[in-house]
Amino acid sequence: MKRILTLVIVMLFGLKGFSQNQQKIIDSLKRELLKPEKDSIKAKIYGDLTWYYASISTDSALIYGKKAMVLAEKLHDSTFLAQTISDNGVVYYLKGDYETSEKLFRKSLKIRNLQKDSAGVASLNFKIGNIFSKKALLDSAMVYYLKALDFYEKKEAVVVANSLKSNIGTIYMTLKNYNKALEYFNENIEFFKNSDQQEFLGNALVNKATVYLYKKDTVQAIFNLKKGIEASEMANAYPTLGSAYNNLGTIYNNKKDFQQAKKYILKSIEIREKANLKTELESSKLTLAGIYNELGEFKKSKPLLLQNLKVFEKEELLDKLLLTYLQLIPVFAYEAKPDSVSFYTNKYIKTQEVYAQENMQTITSELETKYQTEKKEREILAQRANIAEKELNINRKNTQIIGLVILAVVLSFLGYLLYNQQKLKHIQLKKESELKEALIKIETQNKLQEQRLRISRDLHDNIGAQLTFIISSIDNLQYGFKINNEKLTNKLSNISAFTKETIYELRDTIWAMNKSKISFEDLQVRTSNFVDKANSISKDTNFEFILDRSITNQTVLTSIQGMNIYRIIQEAVNNSLKYSEAKNIKVAFKKLENTLQISITDDGKGFDIETVEMGNGLNNIKKRAHDISAIININSKLEEGTSIQLLFSLA
């Protein structure tokens, strides 16, 4: 099943969809800024603008948020500073920059702890829990949620407490404890329905739908998503609406109902653009690109995927990058661009390796954090035990020490077993991924090879046959009729010769197309045959073909590289025959470390490289060299001959 988006309730963030009221408030606050006010009043206005802009334009929110922080520090108002830092953290959260958001929340938390502001601490614990949930660090998320829940239940803040329970239900869902998750979500739905909390009701219904999706009950999932949409539309809850429509599109995509899927994904994109939810918006566009690929509309999916690529590379979202690379492969296969297919296949494989390594590092880091936390707790317990042991007998002290040692050994052993289990799982996943990528690559190459063979057969059977018919017809005209017109006879002979030459060129093209790779032996034989043929036609010119013995037949080129090198040699030799009046033409192959050097030299009349007008021949040589990333050097002097040197990297 493709990835389904789950929501984390952001009740403490207090953000809803854009409304005309918010815009009026923003305009009013901006007018207040124009008045000469004290710094304390300006700081309050900047803070309010940060808050109201957060659901409309995160970039504008950050501009005012930073101004609010500067004034808060200038005023030495720690309470207001803690609030503005937290507000800025909310904005970065909405932008998808969870690292910066977490840093700001922790900075605010430090101030709230110094102030002993238990309500502010609980609010920040809730927010930090949301970040850990987004980063899939579920144990850490649960710790912070439970800290916040303890405070809100004691204060009987039922709305916030139920929001927290919804997030805890989301964690149980992620851990595949679906019955426990449904228990939390059903409790949420009942409470929010009775208290007319439409925004949170919609969120809970969408989360409940996601549980049914994991249970593969799409009927219940669709029913709850549509109910969630109804509630969210009443509250203008754009983040929830965007996720609900996205999940509906994903369901229909999995059911192969691509038209329905496209309709819902486009609706999700419209909402997320309106709410300025950039990361989620690109996620919806990626899903839409996948639908276009399924429908064979590769021209529509390509610009979406290339835009995804820029955003996900900038934000370093490896899981999204993997999906983007995977969708780009069939796009370039459709465009018959094997190099691009190979490039994105390799990018997918490398990114998969990095992603797996980062996952392992994350797991290791979390285990290390747990270990350090437990270690500190044990140290505290040991210190307390030492104080108590002064009043207790030595036997009890020894018993406690032995117990701690046994606990440490057991924890160490469990940690070792868990580490080994994760290591084996990582190795298995890596092998499965490599096998899957290899199969995809082979399948793509086979399809490209089948297409080459089909085109080459069509060229041979159709165009080749037609050219042969032309030659036969001209020969029949020459021998079947007594043509006394010498001019006409010469013209027919020239046409026949040109057609034969075209057939040879066609055979060369078919030869290259029939091969996915060209060995150096193939290239050598073709070049040698061409030189021998040229030698037999031009009796006044002596041809020489030199091959460096250090070049082995194991050197392999792609069909594009081999054909372009062969055409460059052909063009250079033909130019010498046509224009140089050379007596000697030499073609030499030489290997210099990882570079293949091919030189074509003649002792003809040459030309002035500075004044000569570049014709199609020389321009074609340069273009072909550029296409295979080779270096071409053309040197010539009047009456001293011409040298063309091609340098091609074999690395």
pLDDT tens digit sequence for 172-196: 888 888 998 898 889 888 888 888 8
> Is residue 421 over pLDDT 70?
yes
**In sequence order, what are the beta bridge partners of 589?**
547, 598
pLDDT at 5: 40
Using the structure block, give the residue that is written with the tokens 């062969």: 566
Which of 370-374, 404-408, 409-413, 610-614 has the least mean pLDDT? Answer: 370-374
pLDDT at 280: 82
The DSSP element (H or E) to which 243 belongs, if any, is helix 238-254
pLDDT at 7: 45
Q: Cβ(52)–Cβ(26) under 8 Å?
A: yes
The DSSP element (H or E) to which 592 belongs, if any, is strand 584-592
User: Edge-to-edge strands of the sheet including 595-602?
Assistant: 542-547, 584-592, 595-602, 641-649, 631-637
Rounded to an integer, the average pLDDT of 153-174 is: 84
More confident residue, 385 or 285: 285
> Is residue 142 over pLDDT 90?
no
Q: What is the mean pLDDT of the chain?
A: 80
pLDDT at 105: 92
- Dihedral sign of CA atoms 497, 500, 502, 504 in order: negative
Which of 157-166, 280-289, 526-535 has the least mean pLDDT? Answer: 526-535
Taking the C-alpha atoms of residue 347 and residue 441, their distance in angstroms, rounded to an integer, is 12
Using the structure block, give the residue that is written with the tokens 């996720």: 243
Alpha helices by DSSP H, 459-485: 465-480
Which of 372-381, 511-520, 566-575 has the least mean pLDDT? Answer: 372-381
pLDDT at 460: 55
**For 616-625, how does the pLDDT look when each residue is reduced to its tens digit (9 = 90+)?**
678 888 888 9
Three-state SS at 519: strand
What count of Cα atoms within 13 Å lies in the side-chain half-sphere of residue 60? 13
Class for the domain spanning 1-196:
mainly alpha
Rounded to an integer, the average pLDDT of 587-591 is: 87
- Alpha-carbon separation of residue 60 from 67, 95, 96, 147, 189 (angstroms): 11, 12, 16, 33, 35
Taking the C-alpha atoms of residue 327 and residue 309, their distance in angstroms, rounded to an integer, is 11
Which of 322-326, 356-360, 427-431 has the least mean pLDDT? Answer: 356-360
The DSSP element (H or E) to which 620 belongs, if any, is helix 616-627
pLDDT at 9: 39
Rounded to an integer, the average pLDDT of 229-251 is: 88
More confident residue, 456 or 314: 314
**For 468-491, how does the pLDDT look when each residue is reduced to its tens digit (9 = 90+)?**
667 666 666 666 666 666 777 767
Q: In sequence order, what are the residues at sequence separation of 6 or more whose Cβ sits closer than 8 angstroms to the Cβ of residue 409?
A: none
Q: Cβ(102)–Cβ(131) under 8 Å?
A: yes
Rounded to an integer, the average pLDDT of 426-452 is: 77
Q: Cβ(573)–Cβ(615) under 8 Å?
A: no
What does the angle CA 527 – CA 533 – CA 535 come to, to the nearest 5 degrees?
105
Which amino acid makes up residue 155? Answer: K
Taking the C-alpha atoms of residue 404 and residue 380, their distance in angstroms, rounded to an integer, is 12
pLDDT at 388: 58
Q: Fold for domain 516-649?
A: Heat Shock Protein 90 (3.30.565)
Percent of the chain with pLDDT over 90: 9
**For 92-124, how does the pLDDT look when each residue is reduced to its tens digit (9 = 90+)?**
988 888 899 999 999 999 999 999 999 899 999
Percent of the chain with pLDDT over 70: 80
CA dihedral (347, 351, 352, 358) in degrees, to 10, reads: 170
pLDDT at 14: 44
Which amino acid makes up residue 21? Answer: N
> Domain-by-domain residue ranges, the chain?
1-196, 267-335, 516-649
The DSSP element (H or E) to which 147 belongs, if any, is helix 138-154
Q: Cβ(63)–Cβ(37) under 8 Å?
A: no
pLDDT at 644: 92
> Is residue 26 over pLDDT 50?
yes
End-to-end CA distance of the chain: 41
- pLDDT bracket for residue 12 (50, 70, 90): very low
C-alpha closest to that of 204 among 177, 173, 176: 173
More confident residue, 322 or 7: 322
Taking the C-alpha atoms of residue 442 and residue 641, their distance in angstroms, rounded to an integer, is 48
> Is residue 237 over pLDDT 70?
yes
- Alpha-carbon separation of residue 413 from 161, 403, 409, 410, 419 (angstroms): 38, 15, 6, 5, 10
Rounded to an integer, the average pLDDT of 297-301 is: 88
Q: Cβ(89)–Cβ(54) under 8 Å?
A: no
- pLDDT bracket for residue 55 (50, 70, 90): confident
- pLDDT bracket for residue 18 (50, 70, 90): very low
